[in-house]
Each structure stands twice: as structure tokens, then as C-alpha cells.
A and B are shown apart, each in its own frame.
Chain A
Amino acid sequence: MAVKLPIYMDYHATTPVDPRVVEAMLPYFTQHFGNAASRNHPFGWEAEEAVDKARKQVADLIGANAKEIVFTSGATESDNLAIKGAAEMYREKGNHIITCVTEHKAVIDTCKRLEKDGYRVTYLPVQKDGRISLDGLRAAISDKTILISIMTANNEIGVIQPIAEIGAIAKEKGILFHTDAVQAVGKIPFNVNDLKVDMASISAHKMYGPKGVGALYVRRRNPRVLLAPQIDGGGHERGMRSGTLNVTGIVGFGKAAELCRLEMVADTARLSALRDRLNARLHKGLDEIYINGSTEHRLPHNLNISFAYVEGESLLMGINDVAVSSGSACTSASLEPSYVLKALGAGDDLAHSSIRFGLGRWSTEEEVDYVADKLTNVVTRLREMSPLYELAKEGVDLSTMQWQTEGQH
């Protein structure tokens, strides 16, 4: 079977909407278009009913109660609401927040904003496998700590943090625990009670739902989490997030969540087999390629590989009929490579040589084989024109070489 080009292998960035989700959404554009807050006519009632159903569908996916789901515009807003809302609400209890260096920018930049407002933030380092050290977390906790925010799975390297263990520590110390679970929910089992999570950010478009809608799970008992709203208005979503509900998007989110819940086991088995096939085929064709992050604690559909001696952007150029992303950003004078890969301590050169593959519901074996073979060819060609590959083959240790950078970078 011929592969259809271009191939999409960037499912961590976003996913196509499942046709079954689109179908569920369609009537809510034109027929059932009511405002869910309109309490005195059937148009409003229909919309509210649809939102309630979706709320239950999302809650069921993460083992929560429907009342604990706050709909938002997406996970960035959810992260902002969780962290800023908790920081503001519990300011009298303390001013210290613990997070991690490999978090998404929606968490890191939110924490940086809070630092300007007088909060103190600890950014925990990660170990070589991309996971935080639990001893490091314990050591960072003080009597001023009010919140721990650690992502469930990383968006670049797919590494899964020890969430249940972090949840247990947070519970023991009486500290709120938020997790950005965007990449994990719908892909791997995630239960807010088993994991002892107090808040979790979720996004619809990462799980075959529409863009522009997400949720924040906010625990209602043991403990009852209170958040200072970050958007004021009509008091929607238990007063935590005002604004007319995106009914159509929420319906799609609900349907997407239901599909993920029902199909997760089969999807995971299929995708991890495809991912392993991609990895094996690349390793067969090429030497000196390295997987970034833990292979054990990892999303089933993620692969992040550094192809030594070859720069990521030139690699992408050679596979321009394949949509993947690179940890190298050769787009500014500073040429900063991925901060996530740098945090693993792999060395900037390997960070510049990395490609992230994200497989998904419509990935096929043929696509995987095509991508692996094409990459093997391109890497081989680029290595032939790489001075680093030549030096390495001559036995030069690149890490001890003096580089002439003219002070421009």
C-alpha cells in the first residue's frame, strides 16, 4: 500500500478531530445553539444538558466527579488558573511553589510571573532519565510551600513522572498538588484518586477533540480546593471561570474523552508496537542514535531520538514530507536548543540533533517504515557532509575540542 504524503507524526502538538467527535458536535452549531446559562427556555436547557453530559464524560475518563470539572479554553488557561488561582487563594498560608525545569511554558512562565509578585519558586532539576528525584522534592518542601506542580508526561520526551509518589508526598505534607496532564490523559490510565492529584489540566485537542477547549480538574473533598478566579464575570463554572460556555467544543471534548476511555487499551497496544517498530528500524539502519529520556516510564506513542553529528533542522528539511518536530531551534542569534533536552544533561550538540516523533490514532505501519527508511537515508547523507562525524571517525573527542565561535553566539 502506498503511503499518503505528507505523513503526520506530530501528535503531541495536536491531533485531528475524530470524525465521531465532529458528528457529535455538529447539531450544537445550528440546532442546539443555546447558551447553557439561559435558565428559562428549552434552548438553554438543551445546551446545559449537553454540557452536563460532557462534564460526566470527561470526569469518567479521569475517575473524577462531574462537579469537579471546570471547563476552560485549553490547558494553558487551566495551568494559569490552577497555579495563579491557588497561589492567590492560599497566600496567607505561604508563598512557596515547587515545579520542575522540564514543565511546559504554560507552567514555567506562570511561575515566573508569580515570582515577580513576590512568590518563591523552586524549579526541581530532572535526572538523566527526565524524572524528578523524590528525595529532591522532599528536600525542597518547606512550611511555606503551598503548591507542587509537576507534569504527568512531558510533551517533548514523553517521560512520565512518578505522579502517585508525588501525590502521596503532597498529601502527607498537606500541600496542594497540580499536574499538567495534557499529554497523558486519554493515552494512559489516569485516575485522580489513585494518583492523589488535587488539580489536573487537560486539553481536548490533544485527544482527538477540538481546539479551544480544555478543563481543569479541581478536587472538591479531601481537600476541597479553592481557587481565586482569574477571569471575572458571570460566575460560571462554580465561580472559578466566568465566560459563556463553549457548548459545541465541550460536547466534542466529552465525546473525545469517552472514545479515549473506551479505546485506550487497544490504542496503547497498537501505538506502542508501532513506536517500537520505528525505533528498531532506525537503530537497524543507523549507529550513534540515542533515545532521550526514560524508555521505561514513557508515553506509548512517543519517541525522541538524537541523531549524533547531524543538526535537527537540516534533518527536518530532508524529510519535508513528514511532520515531526525538532529540539533544535536555529531561528535566532542565540540558537537555543530545547530546554527540556538540555535539562537531561545530554549536551547541547545532542539537543540540536533531536527529533520528536508522536504517533496517534491514524498512524500506520507503512508510515512508520517510510519515515524510518527516509530518515536513515537523510542522516547518512548529512553525516557524510558533517565535519563532526568526520572528526569523530578520526578519533577526536568532540567534547574536549576548542571551538572557534568568534564570540557571536
Chain B
Amino acid sequence: MSKLNEHHPSRFHGIWALTKRELKKWLKEPIILLMAILQPVIWMGLFGKAMNLGNMFSSSNISISDIVLPGVALIPPQSGSITISGTALSQMFADFGPTLMKNIFGVTDYFSYMSVGMISFIVMFTTMFSGMSIVWDRRLGFLNKVLSTPVSRGAIIFSKVLNASLRSMFQATIILALAVIFGLQVSSTFSVVNILGIYAAVFLLCVGLSSVFLAVALRSTKWETQMAIVNLINLPLMFASNAFFPISQMPDWIQAIAHVNPISYLTDATRQLTVLSLDTSSLIIDFTFLGIFAAVFSFIGIALSWRYLTK
């Protein structure tokens, strides 16, 4: 009797079948794909280009007229008066600008800084919605059908993780390409191999983050709850990180959050690999953190799925 179904799904077979399903659904909706790309483009265009921090210090913004100092104000006092050239002063401040940017942001233009942060932004949104998709599968009965087949429970979760990762990697590629078109300045240490490094970092963060959101959604039947969670934490996760502003300028308590926020580590890793001149030691720290984050949360997610997918 036990020879009825002579085939047994290998773990990989199940994961791939379910991932393929999600990718197919995704590719069949080009509008959603387009929107997912348009959103970061709008952010890059408006936020990245409008907030032109580097340009604030350009000589056209700094026009200082000649300053006349009475000789008595000097030490030691002199008779008569001294005139300081406004043009020379303006030039001094304008030269000072890029140094300031370089020290705070690591790059001289804000666009290069934030457009790399956009990669983290898109990864975060894509993974957040992987939690929603399992809620929909439950509501539409699809999840129950899958659960009644011998496919591994872990494969159900891992296929969603894999799907989110592949989508994020695809979107990251597009954002990076667009950013370069819009004027991203890559550093001298950038090479094609670095792109593989970016993929690896994006993949690790996706695995960790989507495991978190899926674990939260495992037993939920309300997509409203998921939506509320996404709305609540996307802002703090995004802004208590180095995605848009440097951590060094934040108050201590935000810095504390930013230092455990995985978004910071992905952003730093991608910056090291693109716009900054590569600092191997901090890149190692980034990857170590992302690796541990991914391992811990995917383990928890898969362990919970064995326990809680079946009520």
C-alpha cells in the first residue's frame, strides 16, 4: 500500500516549485514590477537630487562682500583699517564644502550617498511583503492545499524567502544601473566583481529580514495586521540606519538602534563596494553581521514553520 506514490519530493524540488510559482506570478504582472522600480526612481529623483547638500557650499551660494576691519580690532592694534577680500573668503568656504561632505558622508555628493541607500530601501520593502503573501495564501486556501501535500514545511517558508531574495536582487540591479545613469560616482576601487559582493549582501539581508516577517505572519489570517506592522516599522528601520543620513551625526539613542539595525550593515557593505574606497575590515564586519543575522532568523523562521504552520 505504501507504494502508491512512488515519488517523494526532494527538499530542493519543493522549494523550487513553490519559488517558481511566485516568480511566475510576479512576472505576469508587469505593472507591479514597473511600480516597484518607479518608486525608488521617484525617491532618487526627488529626495536624492532635490536635497543637494554638496551644492550648498558652492561659490554661487556663498557671496561674501568685502569685510573692512578697523585696525583697533586687531592684535596688536594697528592704525587705519584692513580690508578682507570677500571673493577670497567665499572661495575658502566653497573649498571647505567638499571636505565637509567627504568627512561626514564619505562622498562629495549626496546623490551618490542616498542612491546606494535606496538598494536597502527596496530590499526592505520587498521582504516586508513576503509576510503578506503567506497571509494571502492562507486566506485563499492555497496554503492548506500545499500543507496537505508531502512537500516539506520548511520548503514552504524557504520558497518565500528565496522569492523575496531573487526579486530584491533583480531590483537592486536596476536601481544601481539607474543610479549610475543619474550620476552616481563610483570610487576607484569599484570593479565588476564588487557587484557579486552586493548580490551576496542583499541575499543575506533578504534571508534574515523575510524570515522575520514570515515568522510573524505564520499563523495570521489578517493582512491588515501585516500592513500595520509594515507601516509601523518601515520608517524607524529606514531612518534609524545609515541609508539616508550618516550615523555619526545622530543622537546617541538613534545611534544605538542604527548599530543593531541590519539595514545599516547592508548599506555600508554596498557603499564600500560602490561609492567608497573599499575598507576591507569594515566590509568583513558587515558581512559577518549580515551572515549571522540571516542564519539566526532563517533558522528561527523554519523552526517555527514546522511547529506552527499546522494548527
> Do A and B associate with each other?
no
